[in-house]
Structures are given as structure tokens and as C-alpha cells.
Structure 1
Amino acid sequence: MTHLSVNLNKIGLLRNSRGRNYPNMEQMAKRTLDLGAFGITIHPRPDQRHATYQDAHDLKALLAQYPGRELNIEGFPDSKFLDVVLEVVPDQCTLVPDDPNQLTSDHGWNLDRDSEALLPVIAKLQEKGIRVSLFMDPVPEQMALAKATGAERVELYTEAFAEAYGTDQQDIVNAQYQAAAQAALDLGLEVNAGHDLDLQNVSLLCAPGRIMEVSIGHALTVEALQYGWDEVIKRYLAELS
């Protein structure tokens, strides 16, 4: 079974748009965990336009009430982000090569270029007992470089998979993702996935059993407008089982 980590960034965005603590992110996280989700993900950006640094602290405290469940904090490893992550000590930190002004993540690390800068960051996180995952494009040849950084996991950036789903390129692109996942597994890495996954496409990616965890937020929140939050969480858990 692939684990479901629910990204609550869009809950934070909705809350922040009115300047009130409504919807309450902690309450939504608790509701999500009570429904059976394995974890909670947030991606606090420098402008804190959705998830905030305070959310990281609050969610860590909440997760302490759920032994065996996990908090995953994603982001670009600038000094402020790292300070927060090292204070909070989430179960997992997913390092993403985002520009501070980026609307959303749109590419993985190029480890031919970025490995040297990541090495001390990864070491510092692991000294605190934080598992490190690297946000990666589905390029099998890059997985050996990911392993060499010392990271325990990679997260495959799945926008290309989502765009190809339902087209004549679906099987070709899915095979590319499965090959990248297998290359990582062969090296002893664990594999996560995320970005534009939804109720329709997630089972195709995860059914072969190579993906340990998916992080889903935007599509899940949109689908909740149709099905309701509780129902959509249940549907994802059914798809991933």
C-alpha cells in the first residue's frame, strides 16, 4: 500500500485570504489523520502565502498525538527554512529547488550541478534525525547521484505523468516514471511522488508497488469541493490500497 500524505497548503491559502484562523489548519490536519491518512505535508514559502512557519510548529505538536504518523515539510533550503525545520524536527524534509517567487514547484534537482551545495544541508538535517527526500525529475541516471548525497528518499515530480494521463503518451510516460522509481529502489532509496496527482491517475502510478508515499494537496482540495473532505480522503485511501 502507498501511504497518503495530505498537503494542506491550500487550506492555509484559504485561511490567509480572510485574515482569520478559519479554516483552522490544525483541525483539518486532525480530521485528515482521524480518517486514516498516514501523514501531513506543508510547503511553507518565504512569503508564507499559504502554510506558515508557525503552522510547522503547530502541526508537529499535533502529530505527537499520532504515533506512527508523519509530518513532511517541503521547501527550498534557504537559511530561514532550514532554521524552522531544524527547530521543528519533522519526520521528513523534502528539499525542492524552488525560486522564492515561484508559483508552484516545476522541476526537480539537477544533481550534476546541485549535489555539492546539498551535501552539508542533508548532513545537518540528518544529524537531527530528519529523513531527507530530494524532489527529482524521473531520470533514472540521476538516482545514483541522489544516493550519493546521502538522502534516504527521492520524490518524483509527477506533472509530466499527470499531463500524459489519458493520452496516447500515457504508457510511455508511466514507463519512464516506473523506470526511475526502480532505479532508485535498486540503489536502496525509497520513492515518494507528488504534483498534480489526483483520484483518476494516482492508482496507475502506484499500482506496481514502487511508490512508498504520495503527497497530494491541490487536486485533493479541488475534489473535496465535489465530494466533501471526508469522502475524498476515503477515496484516496481506497485507490492507494
Structure 2
Amino acid sequence: MTRGSSGHEGGRALKTRVKTARKRSLASTLWLERQLNDPYVAQARREGYRSRAAYKLLEIDDKYRMLKPGHRIVDLGAAPGGWSQVAAARVASRAGRGRVVAIDLLQMDAIEGVEFQTMDFHDPEAPERLRAWLGGLADGVLSDMAANATGHRKTDQLRIIGLVELAADFACEVLAPGGYFLAKVLQGGVDGDLLARLKREFALVRHVKPKASRADSAEFYVLATGFRGPRTATEA
């Protein structure tokens, strides 16, 4: 790894470059170089957030004001916990007002104001377990999950749509009327069937691209607000 001594040259910050190591692939080297030169990564370290993803949720919530003090929030695929940190601060769970429930198959270090449980939200019993844990319904379900990338855009899009569909199924089982659902998708957004379903279940559906998402990233977020509540048998 090489750096300029002053950090600036001709008025511009020098870029940190990473030398390719014998046991490191080119893709890993490029990822590491991008991390070292990402201002959000550096800011997250300074401000104590566990991931740069925290700034995406902060930006979305600054604009749409979903997270309110006293809300009960479920964070799916929460590890390492950047979104849970933001949610805990904004719903005031650290002060005992709201609640943030973080769910993941991976273990996650404790966060003040966040309740963590190892759970597979795909499990048919997961929504009932979550409702029992909360003692009721949630105000919001958040998902910054992404399926493992293959490098093939169409395949990756199908995988993440499948993941969003599962997250939407879960959300519709645990949300209170008026609740919201925020999930990561890839460029092009949700497909027609899922978009139609979300429009039936929620009053308003938006696609959001926060500035904190990398410029070269294909990620977007779908924000569905105003959950209409469970449909009756005659409406289904």
C-alpha cells in the first residue's frame, strides 16, 4: 500500500492504492482500494457506525421521516448492525420508548437499544414468533439484504427480487396498518408482479437512490408506506 506523504497533490487528495498480493485476487484488491478511498467508510469509523450503509438509511429517513420515536422496528439481515444503530437512535429505543428487533442468521455484537435474535425469517413460523416477541405488530420492516452476487446482472437481479419477495411476505405478516417496508433492490427496481403486489398492500410505493449509495452501484431501495393491513378472505 502506498501513500503520498502530504495526502494532497495539486490541491487534490491523493488516492490510496493497494498493491496486489499473492494470495489476494484482483477483485479483492479493487474492493479493498475502494473501501480505503470511500469517504463514507472513513466517516462511519469516526462516528461509530458499524457500516457505511448507516448513511443510506439516515438519508432516506431524513427525507421521508419513517422512523419516529416510539416505533417498533424489525431489521432483517441486520448484521453487522449499521441500520439497527440508526433505527435505535431515531425511535428512541435506547431511552426505552421504541423497540428495534434485529434478525439474522449471523451473530451480531450487542448494540444498545437493539434486541437481537438468531432467526431465519424464511421459516413459516418466523412471523408468529416475531409478533409474540414484540407483543404485537411492527411499525416498520427494514431490509438492506442482498443475495450473493454472481457477476451476472440478470441472475443477480432475479436473486435479489426473490429475497425482496420473501421480505415483503414477512413484512405483510408482522406490520401494523399504516406501517412501512424498506428494502434493497437492483437497478430497474422491483419486477411487475412484485410492484403490483406492493401497490395492493401499501398506499404508496417509491424507488429511492440515496447519495450514500456508490455511484457505480446498481442498488436502489423500494420504500412502501401506508400498509393497508391484512386482507380478509373475501378481499384475497
Compute the TM-score of the two structures, normalised by the length of structure 1: 0.36
More helix by share: 1
Compute the TM-score of the two structures, normalised by the length of structure 2: 0.36
More strand by share: 2
Q: Look at both structures and tell me which one has the larger radius of gyration over its CA atoms.
A: 2
